[in-house]
Amino acid sequence: MSTSTALSRSASLPLAQQLALRFSERIQQRLILPGARLPSVRECARHHGVSPYTVVAAYDQLLAAGLLEARKQRGFFVREVHAPRAKSAPAQTATATPAPIDASALIRGMFQADARHAPGLGTLPGDWLDLPMLQSAMRRVVSQSEEPDQLALQYGEPGGDPRLRSALSRRLEDLGVHAAPEQIISTVGATHALDLITRCLLTPGDAVLVDDPGWAIEYARLSQAGMRLLPVPRGPQGPDLEVMARLIAEHRPRMYVTVSVLHNPTGNSLSLASAHQILKLVEAADMLVVEDDTYAFLAPNHVPRLSALDGLKRTIYVSGFSKILTPAWRVGFVAASAKIVHQLTELKLLSTLTTSPMMDRAVAICLEQGQLRRHAERVISRLDAARQRAVRLAEEASCQFVTPPQGLFGWLEVGVDTERLAQRMLDAGWLIAPGLLFSPTRRAGTLMRINFATSQDARFWRLLAELRKA
């Protein structure tokens, strides 16, 4: 791929938009033919001297303009541009209004992310994780299992590895959630768990209460499944109960999906009083509550959980291990009533057959031996120190936290449009998470989420302060 002129960092257009326009023009001129594969994200970034995040944003704009198609595990390919389409239209789209940063763009950027330059990252940095613990667990799976051949060479049980479910049952007792092993099913991460729940217990057209702000992936999943999203403002103590009561009365929602503990993106946790009021509302309305406790290992055990108070009558508890062990181990689980677990198991059989018995067993070993608990304690201690430093750097950059800083994420008032800021930060090689990603209505604003563990570089905060002034 040749380059006629270098991308300009001083131009009015963001680098991602310049790169998208350049590819668009070449595609329109048939200099890149339909079916041609574009360079990989990393290759393109090296060639143009930009960050991988900038390339991801550029390719997203071309996807939105209909010029590219993404093929799973193969890359990006040029689509056929049919004659009725004006040649200038896609180029104008790329020039005038770049495709907004969305959840897919953020996730693809995270796959390329260097944690040192990704304040918007959703996971812990790799050097915070305990690789020797993971290696030891995998060795034990192979060497100490009674039937290693069965684990390595056959399908696992539909509900998940029995040792994992027993270990999870004991772990949940520490949180006050009483669930027998038969009330637990393992999944391919918490995301898979939430997807199974959506497809099993909801039908298109159902209304679903969601936190506002909340996580864009869940918004996208529910919307694509045909659900009607009912945003409930989320405050430091939990959801706005008056708004929730009004929405329940007007729309009769089927479900409420929430993060009770160390909420993403605000970092706050549900108060005991709010938890009791929520359960009263959902019982009166004959609703279900899906409680996503993804950050459970970063929080104290005594923090109120809806599932503990309700006894899994109307609550469905979801969690996973990617945030505390490693994103590479896609192990999650659901705890619910026996009836719901049976329904989810039947759907799991149709969608993924089973989860990996080896991964399930490795997590069970980490839980049984107490290694995971000790690792979590070390992470929490390190995160506390990182949070203190990030708060100081943010305040020095004249930013303010909307809610008290807790857990992994901070919800930050920046004072400028963070969607536009995200484009400028991409140009400079920094991946941030603008507030519109966490709005169910895609409302732009001046808020953004930071990851305390990956927001330690003072250069990022100096650049942020400079761009705010500009």
DSSP string, 408-439: SEEEEE-SS-HHHHHHHHHHTT---EEGGGG-
Beta carbons of 119 and 430 less than 8 angstroms apart: yes
How many residues are given for the chain?
Answer: 470
What CA–CA distance (Å, rounded) separates 91 from 96? 9
SS3 of residue 95 by DSSP: helix
Q: Amino acid identity, residue 59? A: Y
Please report, in tens digits, the pLDDT of each residue of the chain (470 residues total). 444 457 877 676 788 888 988 898 888 877 788 888 899 888 898 888 888 878 888 888 888 888 998 887 788 999 876 544 444 434 444 433 344 455 566 566 666 666 778 899 889 999 999 999 999 999 988 886 666 667 777 788 999 999 999 999 999 999 999 999 999 999 999 999 999 999 999 999 999 999 999 988 888 889 889 999 999 999 999 999 999 999 999 999 999 999 999 999 999 999 999 999 999 999 999 999 999 999 999 999 999 999 999 999 999 999 999 999 998 899 999 999 999 999 999 999 998 888 999 999 999 999 998 999 999 999 999 999 999 999 999 999 999 999 999 999 999 999 999 988 888 888 888 889 999 889 888 787 999 999 999 999 999 999 999 998 87
Q: State phi, psi for 202 to the nearest 5 degrees.
A: -125, 160
Neighbouring residues of 412: CB distance < 8 A, sequence distance ≥ 6: 394, 399, 400, 401, 402, 447, 448, 449, 450
Tokens of 310: 């309700």
Given the structure tokens 């909801």, which residue do they identify?
202
What CA–CA distance (Å, rounded) separates 427 from 14? 7
Tokens of 394: 């943010």
> CB 59: neighbour CB atoms within 10 A?
26
Given the structure tokens 């209304």, which residue do they identify?
207
Beta carbons of 82 and 88 less than 8 angstroms apart: no
Backbone CA torsion sign across 240, 245, 248, 249: negative
Tokens of 342: 């049976």
Q: In sequence order, what are the beta bridge partners of 238?
A: 235
What CA–CA distance (Å, rounded) separates 163 from 300? 25
CA torsion, points 184, 187, 193, 198, in degrees to nearest 10? -100
